[in-house]
Amino acid sequence: MNEILNPAFDALKTYDWGVDPKVLQPIDDAIVATRTDAVARKDLEARLIAALTSAGSRAAKDMVCRALKTIGTGSSVAALAPLLADDKLSHMARYALESIPAPEAGQALRAALPKVAGKLQIGIISSLGVRREAASIATLQSLLGHADTAVAQAAAHALGTIALPEADKALAAAKSNNARTAAAIADGSLECAEKLLANGQKAAAKATYQRVLGSNPAKPVQVAATRGVQLCDTK
């Protein structure tokens, strides 16, 4: 396999936008071919990590991040984590870390939060929601009162995406005088209720729906929560 991959990794060193992506096709093919070969896949991951930490172009690093989204393990986290603070590469690094099942990936995302601001911080919050880890709930809860309303809103939506009972409790304890943050908390709570109901936890879901109704939400949320209460009462 190395005979096929070596030219592709050599091409990756100088790859940039505008270059025919077919020169990298052997790497994509190897991702598929190594699906059932743990040794070969580990070697491929190591080569991708080396490429990511080298002085390649943004286009090359984007490609590597896409590959690591598919085959990345805890071994890739140390190479991806520094990119979270990079305006141009943060999105792709998150894209990979969202899918890496190792707990180190979630830890790296949480550790990066205080090191960034604005859209990068909001993006990382979103990725923590996608991962749906209980370990992220306390961190997200602490952001519900953030001075940046967009950050607080993102945290509320991420807790709604996680939708574990602990996430629901975090949203229940949240208080905000900001209308947009309060609306996001209601939306997140509604999402929690819907997932609780889908999992057969009708009593917990009903309590959350009723809590949402008590927050005087916007009309669409009110309608959804009212319907949710009715569904919880059906046998």
Residue pLDDT, tens place only, 144-164 = 999 999 999 999 999 999 999
Which residues are CB-contacts of 103 (< 8 A; sequence separation ≥ 6)? 74, 133, 135
142 falls within a domain: no
Distance, CA of 90 to CA of 3 (rounded, Å) = 32
- DSSP label at residue 147: S
DSSP 51-112: HHTSS--HHHHHHHHHHHHHH--GGGHHHHGGGGG-TTTHHHHHHHHTT--SHHHHHHHHHH
Residue 189 lies in a domain: no
- The confidence score (pLDDT) of residue 176 equals 85
Whole-number mean pLDDT of the chain? 94
- Taking phi over 0 as left and psi of -120 to 50 as alpha, with beta for the rest, 18 belongs to left
Tokens 């046998």 correspond to what residue? 235
Q: How many CB atoms lie within 10 A of CB 222?
A: 16
Within a domain: 35: yes
Q: Judge whether 229 lies within some domain.
A: no
Q: What is the pLDDT of residues 200-211, one digit of tens each?
A: 999 999 999 999
What is the C-alpha separation between 190 and 212, in angstroms, rounded? 7
Query: pLDDT at position 5, please?
Result: 92
Burial 184-220 (b: 16+ CB within 10 A, else e): bbbbbbbbbbbbbbeeebbebbbbbbebbbeeebeee
> Cα–Cα distance between 63 and 15 in angstroms, integer?
10
Give residue 77's domain range: 1-111
The secondary element (H helix, E strand) that includes residue 34 is: none
Q: Is 199 helix (H, G, I), strand (E, B) or coil?
A: coil
Q: Which two tokens stand for residue 216?
A: 């005087």
Is 19 part of a structural domain of the chain? yes
pLDDT digits (tens, 9 = 90+) for 51-91: 999 988 999 999 999 999 999 999 999 999 999 999 999 99
- Give φ, ψ of 18 to 5 degrees: 95, -15
| pLDDT reported for residue 235 | 62
What are the pLDDT digits (tens) for 102-133? 999 999 999 999 999 999 999 999 999 999 99
Residue 39 resides in a domain:
yes
**Domain total in the chain:** 1
* 4 domain residue, yes or no: yes
219 part of a folded domain: no
The pLDDT of residue 34 is 93
pLDDT of residue 234: 84
**Is the pLDDT at 177 greater than 90, yes or no?**
no
Whether 2 has a pLDDT exceeding 80, the answer reads no
Q: Which two tokens stand for residue 234?
A: 């059906």
d(CA 179, CA 159): 18
Name the pTM for this structure.
0.91
